């Protein structure tokens, strides 16, 4: 159970559905605020703290995904559940890649929505990253604006694919899996040595602390667009990916 009443922002332009959702969530002891457009929601989020968003995509003026992108860039770790009539796989993938925590299509079952909303809020209160399943059903991790797909070794930042070499991927995965903890140089070097050489390289470069510094430098540049993702030097030990809310 929540220690205090969680506040949910419902962004929905259908007045009947908005009323129904508001009533249901209030019955469940949620505090509810509402917006009927992206502009209205953005204005509200700048003055009021909320614990989660239920977001329609087909909205007048601007698309719900625009709000999702805005929220990902401005409010670390705010959970967003998309509730939309768009039921295509492409839509679902786009929504999840843009950083949505869950995706439910209309028509929907109110009890399922409640259950998934509660689960989403529970995950959000846990450590900064969450293990989840991606749209393709594989294991994935989201950390703030970052999404890692462990099966395909791909990452996306704010919904945009990150170009990573194999070594960069392995380094990033280690840092994300142990977000908030120190990852020692030896940890990274051991992980690198345990994996095959990078494709296209005839002679693998030496895997030592100097090489690691170069890779960390490159990874920092690639994560640089997000002020939330900071790889700290831990003097004499290694590196730490700071939790996004830190």
Residues of the shown chain interacting with Ca ion in the complex, contacts defined by CB under 5 A: 13, 56, 58
What is the closest distance, in whole angstroms, from the C-beta atom of residue 14 to Ca ion in the complex? 5
What is the closest distance, in whole angstroms, from the C-beta atom of residue 81 to Ca ion in the complex? 15
What is the closest distance, in whole angstroms, from the C-beta atom of residue 56 to Ca ion in the complex? 4
- Which of 58/205 has CB closer to Ca ion? 58
In Å, how far from its chain's centre is CA 182?
Answer: 22
- Which of 56/168 has CB closer to Ca ion? 56
- Which of 13/173 has CB closer to Ca ion? 13
How are strands ordered across the β-sheet holding 146-149?
Answer: 129-133, 139-143, 146-149, 154-157, 160-162
CB atoms within 10 A of CB 54: 24
Taking alpha carbons only, the member of 158, 137, 17 closest to residue 85 is 17
**φ, ψ of residue 73 in degrees (nearest 5):** -85, -20
Dist. CA 224–CA 219, nearest whole Å: 8
What is the closest distance, in whole angstroms, from the C-beta atom of residue 124 to Ca ion in the complex? 24
| Cβ–Cβ under 8 Å, residues 223 and 157 | yes
Dist. CA 165–CA 163, nearest whole Å: 7
- Which of 40/197 has CB closer to Ca ion? 40
- Which of 92/167 has CB closer to Ca ion? 92
Tell how strand 7-11 and strand 31-35 pair up. parallel
DSSP element (H, E) containing 213: helix 209-223
- Which of 83/120 has CB closer to Ca ion? 83
What is the closest distance, in whole angstroms, from the C-beta atom of residue 97 to Ca ion in the complex? 21
What is the closest distance, in whole angstroms, from the C-beta atom of residue 63 to Ca ion in the complex? 10
């Amino acid at each position: 159970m929540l220690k205090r009443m969680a506040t949910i922002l419902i962004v929905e332009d259908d007045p009947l559905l908005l009323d129904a959702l508001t009533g249901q969530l209030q019955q469940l002891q949620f505090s509810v605020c509402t917006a009927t457009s992206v502009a209205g929601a953005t204005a509200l989020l700048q003055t009021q703290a909320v614990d989660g968003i239920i977001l329609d995509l087909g909205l007048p003026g601007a698309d719900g995904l625009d709000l999702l992108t805005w929220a990902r860039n401005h409010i670390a770790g705010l959970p967003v559940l998309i509730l939309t009539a768009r039921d295509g796989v492409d839509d679902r993938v786009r929504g999840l890649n843009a950083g949505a925590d869950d995706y439910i299509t209309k028509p929907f079952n109110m009890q399922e929505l409640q259950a998934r909303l509660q689960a989403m809020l529970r995950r959000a209160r846990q450590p900064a990253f969450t293990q989840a399943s991606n749209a393709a059903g594989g294991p994935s991790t989201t950390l703030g604006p970052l999404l890692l797909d462990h099966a395909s070794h791909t990452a996306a930042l704010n919904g945009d694919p990150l170009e990573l070499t194999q070594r960069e991927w392995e380094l990033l995965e280690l840092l994300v899996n142990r977000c908030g903890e120190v990852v020692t140089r030896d940890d990274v070097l051991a992980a690198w040595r345990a994996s095959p050489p990078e494709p296209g390289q005839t002679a693998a470069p030496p895997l030592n602390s100097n090489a690691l510094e170069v890779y960390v430098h490159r990874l920092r540049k690639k994560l640089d667009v997000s002020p939330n993702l900071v790889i700290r030097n831990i003097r004499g030990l290694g590196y730490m990916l700071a939790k996004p809310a830190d």
